[in-house]
């Protein structure tokens, strides 16, 4: 059942009317429609709103900022529940679209009347520039920096990986990526043959190549990730073999690094073990500290495992192929 929001306006009928905020000519006004819905309806309603013309839809905890706020985590292949009460925020081009979408919400949620709704004005912005401003150069080690393509290197004598993540995961800011980079610094040697399984932006594969690996392969299930990774490799003047999981070479490799998530890593244990020769080394990340023992047990059939390091609640595991 949808719970009605307190009625509010906040959208001036005429942006030029007295009291309306003055905005530069280049700024376009968008409209945010806010509805409160139960977990039962949030996903269905979100999909329907997008199909009906919403620019974007986000679902948030209605209790955010209060003592009742509750974090929710999910992984591919899992069905993490939403919150009991959810705020569905709908971005629109025109305020005239709001009543139509509210009626749609009423029909989908089987309400007796339209929910009371809130409209807020939102100034459009240069999202690319705003996103870029969030990423500064990151020092992984005095020898290795991650430098977004729109920044200059902080230390020209270090290994500076120039990165533009595009649509792919892996900017160097997440603890799991940093843990893997630190592991590669300690383990890559001149003769190493390295596989980056689930390469995302290609940051780990590129780091292995810049650290001196003899041959590096990166694979991903997402074609957009492969494209972004190839562009990043070209930017860093390294040669890496890219491919999907279906067409990837089977090895053998000396090193496999997989920064994914715990659920797929559980399933991939035999496949990843098959990529390595006896004595080969593996690094696994995307694992919460609470999942460490379970993942070590899963991989114990193929590797002698131990924890490499932990950062901000995430752990990197390392092992040697038996």
For the chain, the farthest-separated pair of C-alpha atoms sits apart, in whole angstroms, at 76
Q: What percent of the chain has pLDDT over 90?
A: 43
User: Which residues face 311 on adjacent strands?
Assistant: 314
How many residues are listed for the chain in this entry?
322
Is the pLDDT reported for residue 1 higher than 70?
Answer: no
How would residue 316 be classed by pLDDT, with cut points 50, 70 and 90?
Answer: very high
Distant-in-sequence, close-in-space partners of 153: CB < 8 Å, separation ≥ 6: 137, 145, 147, 160
Higher pLDDT, 171 or 153: 153
Domains of the chain, each with CATH number or no CATH = 29-124 (3.30.70.120), 166-321 (3.40.50.150)
Distant-in-sequence, close-in-space partners of 14: CB < 8 Å, separation ≥ 6: 20
Q: Mean of the pLDDT values across residues 73-98?
A: 72
Question: What is the reported pLDDT for 16?
Answer: 37
How would residue 116 be classed by pLDDT, with cut points 50, 70 and 90?
Answer: low
For the chain, what is the mean pLDDT?
Answer: 81
Question: What is the reported pLDDT for 173?
Answer: 81
Alpha carbons 143 and 210: distance in angstroms, whole number:
11
Higher pLDDT, 287 or 132: 287
Q: What is the pLDDT of residues 37-69, one digit of tens each?
A: 888 878 888 888 887 778 888 888 888 888 787
How would residue 29 be classed by pLDDT, with cut points 50, 70 and 90?
Answer: low
Q: Mean of the pLDDT values across residues 89-111?
A: 82
Contact 146, 136 (CB under 8 A): no
Question: What is the reported pLDDT for 77?
Answer: 43
Question: What is the reported pLDDT for 4?
Answer: 35
Q: Long-range pairs for 237-240 at CB < 8 Å and ≥24 separation?
A: 238/206, 238/209, 238/210, 239/209, 240/202, 240/205, 240/206, 240/209, 240/216
How would residue 153 be classed by pLDDT, with cut points 50, 70 and 90?
Answer: confident
Q: What is the pLDDT of residues 225-259, one digit of tens each?
A: 898 899 999 999 999 999 887 776 777 999 999 99
Q: What ranges in 93-164 are assigned the alpha helix state H? A: 98-109, 127-132
Peptide bond into 220 cis (omega under 30): no
Which span out of 60-74, 125-139, 170-184, 198-212 was modeled with the highest average pLDDT? 198-212
Question: What is the reported pLDDT for 307?
Answer: 97
Instruction: Count other C-beta atoms under 10 Å from residue 62's C-beta.
Output: 19
Is the pLDDT reported for residue 177 higher than 70?
Answer: yes
Higher pLDDT, 42 or 262: 262
Produce one character per residue of 67-88: b if its CB has 16 or more CB atoms within 10 Å, e if not. eeeeeeeeeeeeeeebbebbbb
Query: What one-character-per-residue DSSP string does 180-226 give?
Result: HHHHHHHH--TT-EEEEES-TTSHHHHHHHHTT-SEEEEE-S-HHHH
Alpha carbons 249 and 143: distance in angstroms, whole number:
30
State the burial class of residue 237 (Cβ atoms within 10 Å of its Cβ: 0-12, 13-18, 19+).
Answer: exposed
Question: What is the reported pLDDT for 123?
Answer: 62
Question: What is the reported pLDDT for 38?
Answer: 82
Does an H or E element contain 307, and which?
A: strand 303-311
Q: Mean of the pLDDT values across residues 309-322?
A: 96
Alpha carbons 223 and 229: distance in angstroms, whole number:
10
How would residue 303 be classed by pLDDT, with cut points 50, 70 and 90?
Answer: very high
Alpha carbons 146 and 153: distance in angstroms, whole number:
9
Is the pLDDT reported for residue 149 higher than 80?
Answer: no
Question: What is the reported pLDDT for 248?
Answer: 67
Higher pLDDT, 117 or 24: 117
Which span out of 2-16, 221-235, 293-307 was modeled with the highest average pLDDT? 293-307
Contact 188, 256 (CB under 8 A): no
Is the pLDDT reported for residue 15 higher than 60?
Answer: no
Structural tokens at position 245: 């999981």
Q: What ranges in the chain are assigned the alpha helix state H? A: 39-51, 98-109, 127-132, 175-187, 203-210, 223-235, 262-274, 292-299
Higher pLDDT, 282 or 150: 282
Question: What is the reported pLDDT for 19?
Answer: 40
Distant-in-sequence, close-in-space partners of 82: CB < 8 Å, separation ≥ 6: 39, 42, 43, 59, 72
Q: What is the distance in angstroms between the CA of the first residue and the CA of the last residue of the chain? A: 56
């Amino acid at each position: 059942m949808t719970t009605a929001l307190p009625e509010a306006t906040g959208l001036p009928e005429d942006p030029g009317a007295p009291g309306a905020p003055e905005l530069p000519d280049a700024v376009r006004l968008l409209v945010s429609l806010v509805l409160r819905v139960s977990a039962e309806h949030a996903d269905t309603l979100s999909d329907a709103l997008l199909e009906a013309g919403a620019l974007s839809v986000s679902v948030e905890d209605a209790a955010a900022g209060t003592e009742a706020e509750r974090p929710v985590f999910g992984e591919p292949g899992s069905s993490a529940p939403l919150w009991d009460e959810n705020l569905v925020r709908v971005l629109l081009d025109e305020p005239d679209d709001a009543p139509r979408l509210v009626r749609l919400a009423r029909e989908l949620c089987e309400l007796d009347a339209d929910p009371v709704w809130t409209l807020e004005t939102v100034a459009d912005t240069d999202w690319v520039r705003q996103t870029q401003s969030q990423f500064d150069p990151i020092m992984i080690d005095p020898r290795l920096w991650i430098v977004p393509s729109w920044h200059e290197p902080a230390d020209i004598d270090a290994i500076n990986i120039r990165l533009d993540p595009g649509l792919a995961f892996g900017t160097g800011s997440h603890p799991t990526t940093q843990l893997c980079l630190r592991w590669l610094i300690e383990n890559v040697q001149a003769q190493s043959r390295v596989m980056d399984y689930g390469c995302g932006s290609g940051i780990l594969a590129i780091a292995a190549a810049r650290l001196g690996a003899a041959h590096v392969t990166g694979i991903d299930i997402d074609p957009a990730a492969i494209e972004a990774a190839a562009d990043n490799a070209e930017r860093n003047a390294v040669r890496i073999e890219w491919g999907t999981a279906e067409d990837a070479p089977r090895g053998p490799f000396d090193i496999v690094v997989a920064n994914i998530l715990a659920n797929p890593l559980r399933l991939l244990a035999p496949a990843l073990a098959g990529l390595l020769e006896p004595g080969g080394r593996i690094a696994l990340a995307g694992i919460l500290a609470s999942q460490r023992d379970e993942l070590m047990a899963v991989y114990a059939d193929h590797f002698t495992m131990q924890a490499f390091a932990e950062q901000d609640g995430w752990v990197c595991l390392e092992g040697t192929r038996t």
